Amino acid sequence: MIDFKITRDPQTGEEIWAVPLRGPLLLNHPLFNKGTAFPEQERRELGLLGLLPPHVDTLEIQVERAYEAFRSKPTDLERHIYLRALQDENEVLFYRLIQDYIEETMPVVYTPTVGEACQLFSHIYRHPRGLFVAYPEREHIDELLANTPQRHVDVIVVTDGERILGLGDQGAGGMGIPIGKLALYTLCGGIHPARTLPVLLDVGTDNPDLLNDPLYMGWRHPRVRGAEYDAFVERFVQAVMRRYPNLLLQWEDFAQAHAGPLLERYRDRLCTFNDDIQGTAAVATGTVLAAVEAVGTRLRDQVVAVFGAGSAGCGIAEQLCAAMVGEGLSETEARSRFFLIDRTGLLREGFSGLPPFQRAFVQPSSALASWRLDRPDHIGLADVVSHAKPTILIGVSGVAGAFTETIVKTMADLTPRPIILPLSNPTSRCEALPAQILAWTEGRALVATGSPFADVVWSGRRFPVSQCNNSYVFPGLGLGILAVGARRVTQGMFMAAARALADTSPAPTLPDAPLLPPLTASRSVSHCIALAVAKEAIAAGVAAPASDTEVERLVHERMWTPAYARLTGC
């Protein structure tokens, strides 16, 4: 465990870090290492003379050298491996590189490339990062936490690897997701990288390919479930609360059977949220609000079809429903406008065994009485589009190609400006390609996707396609929470984040503009969301009172920028 003291030069305001390392040990610490950018005075004071080439580089020159190496890699997976290695060698350079070239690097650091990296995690593993909490070590979780290099942690992203993106059970390979998410916390939200910790709860895997892979690095055992699983997670949460009482804990890529129950169990015990349920809902709501404004209608007048009625789909529907209620509808009126389709078809009256989060969106038989159906026992997406006439279609199913030409054209025949969001990722699981949607709707659809896509050119017009990715919301959410020391994460914070995101959209004022700002604006978007979330936390009574000016200062002070500090010995 390595502590360092931060002060500021009273004359210039420059940060000064007093670090306890010298020589090769200093060069091997990714947060302290400047590589060839160590100035001569620091080389002499910190025992680095002769260990580096004599020329002193600027950070800008290092970035160009690293970018050249990044571009030379033949595949996105190789680029991902290179960036991860750079992160483990020199974090300032890593974050400055991905900040300067965010449009090229972010899809490599995170979706869609991170999915392939998780699948091949045991084959491309290079350097330890994060904390693996394996079930056989359940009696020693406090000791495991004590072994981490960070004494102070602000954010943990934790997964058990069971539902990685749309790829299913990746076991220990799921660690790639918390590592990637926390990189985005720093890149977009300015959360200091030294105060983040990725965690993998290794409860085994039911993926036979992993269990039979001689290189698999996780616990080779079928997944622990039931009471044993719950007790293990409880041990982890208690240990985290003891060590980091002011922590923000983000649940990530847990299977449906665990995602909702874990959120309900812990949301009132510590500052925590589930990004797949709540973060996805917030970014989708912000995108829809921007699209509705661009079309010139009101949210309360929309009809919404959600294909994929898991925790993410129902979370989106709940957030949009709450926004409709905020525009004056009763809850019953709002819920009547949502049609959620699961594997067994439309959620409707007569279905048994539905979990509570799905039961809230069951359509009564009376609402479907006039529908002429070929198979009344299974009401699919095509039936819903034909009869319910949705103006908004959202996909979170992981079923590639589910938004067929017939379905999209039918929707376009029934509404002049359909809003279509195929949000499943990685790219191979997308419900429809943006180029297809725009061609089938003759350029009338407003489209955003879960994975990144290039601009679409149709009939001489260029349509930028926004990636409706959680990275627009969770970094700013976390920044706002930490800035004011919020004790809990409330639903109001997600609504505040969604509205702040919608306010940054260029679509309402510019024809053919994307629904969301470009990735290059990610830090400014996170700043806007952080301010809205921090003010909502104060209004909700889960943070200490502060003026708007004070909130601005707190948020600004929390945003770390990738730049080298002056180093001294201690």
Pseudo-torsion of CA 66, 69, 73, 77, nearest 10°? Answer: -20
Quick check: 264 and 170 in contact, CB under 8 A? no
Annotate 298-359 with DSSP letters as a single string.
-GGG--EEEE--SHHHHHHHHHHHHHHHHTT--HHHHHTTEEEEETTEE-BTT--S--HHHH
pLDDT at 1: 61
pTM of the model as a whole:
0.94
Q: How many CB atoms lie within 10 A of CB 27?
A: 21
The strand pair at 461-463 and 456-458 is best described as antiparallel
**Beta bridge partner(s), residue 241:** none
What 3-state DSSP class applies to 556? helix
Q: What gap in Å lies between CA 497 and CA 283, rounded to an integer?
A: 8
pLDDT averaged over consecutive 10-residue blocks of the chain (570 residues)?
82 90 96 97 97 98 98 98 98 98 96 95 97 98 93 95 94 98 98 97 98 98 98 98 96 94 97 96 98 97 97 95 97 97 94 91 95 91 98 96 98 97 91 97 97 93 94 97 98 98 96 93 97 98 98 97 95
Task: Report DSSP state, residue 472.
Answer: G
- Sketch out the chain's domains with CATH numbers: 110-269 (3.40.50.10380), 278-471 (3.40.50.720), 474-558 (no CATH)
Peptide bond into 464 cis (omega under 30): no
Number of CB atoms found within 10 A of residue 57's CB = 17
How many other C-beta atoms can be found within 10 angstroms of the C-beta atom of residue 380?
Answer: 17
Which residues are marked as active site? 110, 181
Q: Where does 379-490 have alpha helices with state H?
A: 381-388, 405-414, 434-440, 474-484
Sign of CA dihedral 520, 274, 381, 371: negative
With the C-alpha atoms ordered 114, 85, 274, 164, is the resulting torsion angle positive or negative? positive
Give the pairing type, strands 271-274 and 196-202: unpaired
List the one residue out of 311, 295, 216 whose CA is nearest residue 257. Answer: 311
Q: List own/partner pairs for 435-441 with CB under 8 A and 24 or more apart.
A: 436/405, 436/408, 437/403, 437/408, 438/463, 440/405, 440/408, 440/409, 440/412, 441/408, 441/409, 441/411, 441/412
Can you tell me which residue has the tokens 């100035």? 39
